[in-house]
Chains A and B, each alone.
Chain A
Amino acid sequence: MREGQGTGLPHSGAGEEHKTGSDPSATIGDSRAKRGRSRPVSLPEHLVQRFREAASEPGGTDTSRVARRYEELKAALEIIRQGPIATNSTIVSKDVCGPFIGLNKEPSRAQSDRPPRRREVSEDKLSHHRQLPVPPAKSGDRPGRISHELGRRRPAAVPMRDAQNRGGLLPSWDRGMEFAHTVTESIDVLTGIWACDAHANGQYRLLDFPFMPTALPNAARYWSTATTAEGLDRCAGRRIGMSDVAAVWAAVEVFRRLDDRFGGGRARITAVRYLHGEVTPLLKGSYSDRVGRRLFGAIADLTQLVGWMAYDVGEHGLGQRYFAQALRLARASGDHVFGGFILSRMSRQATYLDHPQAAVELGVVGREGAAGHATPTAMALFYSVEARGYGLLGDVRACTAALARAEQYLDAAKPGDEPAWSRFFDEAQLSDEFAHCFRDLGKPREALRFAERSLRLRRDSYARSKAFCHTVLATAYLQQGELEEACRTGRELIREVTRLQSVRGWEYIRDFRRRLAPYQRERAVREFDTWANARTVLRQ
């Protein structure tokens, strides 16, 4: 079907059309030819034919897809004509077509008297991202905005899968949270996240996405129902061998050491760029099933590490997405124990963000999935994260039982047989877990004992863990009423955190200072506040 026949008047002058315009075979330049300056030029017949075919619709009269597009547009129009949607941070539809439909004008009296429609926002004590139920309306948000609007308001009207593939930048909230059905889809999702994150250059578009507590049970459910192994052999692009996999493992080790020693902020961007620049081509290359499993295992480890770094710098939504995708890769690689470890990371994040029930669930699912395959250290780690969740819930019996099991398993561990990712879990770390649990259970004496033990045993390469342990120690002193000691430990904590790039560290400092607030009149606390303000004013 040729379109535009007889439409005539785009601006004026219907019927004055020059016939040569719409016909590729037409010869032009006749007048110039008469003047001897040029000769007529025409296209070869086969090219003329090809252009005519290209101008016709390949689907003939099949307009179903255009019809679906039209339905999508109609729904968007309806939403926009309902007026701006007030949220706690932005007006959503104003950015779409505000200048054309008058949304930039001041609201009428009737509109301004009406209470704004707000989404329910769950407040959490540590995550400020959670207070943003929609992404901030920046000018760059337009691609995919229609689908985003529709997906949020009318889930049935928009195929989100299509929206994700349209090149629209992260149009849906659960972008990155999905567990792709096939490995190929998983690679697409993961490489897309790496690409966006690596090129963000400080304008963290991905960071606008909030932590989603409701997605935590999904991860547990996904892992507990994942059964069959997948074939990973792939034939496309350059050949990938074990040397490539070894290079990824080496990179993982380097980034892990950097993270442990200097905090997540120091190496996160470098790690993401490594994933985007070096690892993406590996994923899209050719490899056998055996190499593919090793490769996916290594990449899963690096991805969870980047997620851990994001969590450490307070980007919880981003961290959660990295963990979810790492879990998907771990499933593809068939490493159930490592999958359990990722769930333990998610559990730790849930504990930090005050979701103890989800933390326990994730810990239990991870442990049960790995049972029978996991090394003693890994099992001790799984029990310890479970105990942290119980500690936050205040369940003394379950917490101490899980800690006891963790201790038993760690006693049975044989150094050297452990996977690289579990080597950090030693006696010092277990003591640290004990201390955290007892602090949460309101048992300062035990917390103090285990925190001191942990600090005594802890190696210097785990500077961040040492700093966090100082928090527990300071809090335990405070709970016992020893203000002088608490403030002295608090000073040590601030000195250590200022050497790190860890938002979690600063959150711990804030937490400790909040606990100190009731004792503001005491001399030791006043001196500590003066000292701390001078050192933290730029960071708080």
Chain B
Amino acid sequence: MIPAKEPLGAGPDPPSPAHENEREFEYFYYRHFRSLVRYLASLSGSARFVDDAAQEAMLVVANNWTMLGNDGSRRGYLFVTAKRELIRMLKRPESWCLPLDTERHDTAGSLNLAADWIESNIDVTSLLQELTPRQREAATLAWLCDFSEKQIAQTMGVKPGTVKAHLSRARRTLRCLTSSPSDLDEPGRDVQ
């Protein structure tokens, strides 16, 4: 049965599904883009290609929006895709052609969020570079991107117990790196 047409002025038309998706994606973008940049910058310790990889990953998520289901799935997919994209970019031979200090130049007023974040958190990124790659990834997701252990495990493709171990070892290493010798001798602390 065809519904009766509403009279003019009865109220605004309901948003179309495409429009709704666009609004949802915009919200998703604003919510996760910066934490994604933090994650990638922290993983590589450099701003090189980070913004590009983040944008590419967002593009992929946008194009698979309805297929990805809920917000959590999208976020997990986004982070995994962005990491792979960044690795792929950094592996390309032409990425070696750029001067190492390219990302340092003229970032003021530019869109390069990663360079700015590294600039203002150079101590944190330097510390994280002391960890093994898996520990660094777990620590970044946990402490900088606010992932739970279960979410980290699913993003990294390991068991939650492994994530716990990575985080524990990361804490131990960071504690060793930032403590004075007297702290290390303190009884009741296992810092090894």
Contact = CB atoms under 8 A, between A and B. Distances in A.
Interface of A: 2-5, 7-14, 16-24, 28-29, 38-44, 46-47, 50-51, 53-55, 57-58, 63, 65-70, 72-73, 76-77, 80, 96-97, 100-101, 139-140, 142-144, 146, 159, 161-162, 165-169, 185, 188, 191-192, 195-196, 198-201, 203, 205, 280
B149 A66 contact: no
Nearest to B79: A10
Given A51-B144, A146-B59, A167-B48, A10 B155 contact: yes
B190 A38 contact: yes
B144 A54 contact: yes
Contacts of A57: 34
Given A58-B120, A165-B110, A199 B164 contact: no
Given A65-B113, A77-B62, A41 B171 contact: yes
Contacts of A50: 123-124
Contact of A7 (B47, B48, B71): B71
Interface residues of B, number: 84
Given A8-B72, A143-B95, A168-B52, A21 B112 contact: no
Tell me what chain B mostly uses at the interface: helix, strand, loop, or mixed: helix
A186 to B, nearest CB: 12
Given A54-B121, A55-B146, 8 more contacts: A8-B71, A9-B71, A41-B168, A47-B175, A57-B34, A69-B51, A100-B63, A167-B103
Given A43-B171, A73-B62, A24 B142 contact: yes
A21 B149 contact: yes
Interface string B51-63: 1100110111011
B94 A7 contact: no
A53 B123 CA distance: 12
A169 to B, nearest CB: 5
Contacts of A29: 164, 168
A191 to B, nearest CB: 6
9 contacts: A4-B147, A22-B142, A23-B142, A65-B111, A66-B34, A142-B56, A159-B110, A162-B111, A201-B93
B89 to A, nearest CB: 6
Contacts of A53: 121
Contacts of A73: 29, 55, 58-59, 62
A42 B71 CA distance: 32
Interface in B10-35: 26, 29-35
A159 B146 CA distance: 32
A34 to B, nearest CB: 14
B9 interface: no
Contacts of A143: 49, 52, 89, 92, 95
Given A43-B175, A66-B33, A192-B98, A72 B55 contact: yes
Contacts of B110: 159, 161-162, 165-166
Contacts of B150: 13, 16-18, 21
B5 interface: no
Given A47-B178, A101-B63, A167 B47 contact: yes
A4 B140 CA distance: 13
B87 interface: no
A97 B59 CA distance: 8
Contacts of A139: 92
Of A24, A41, A101, chain B has the most CB atoms within 10 Å of the CB of A41
Contacts of B174: 43, 47
B73 A3 contact: no
Contact of B151 (A21, A46, A205): A21
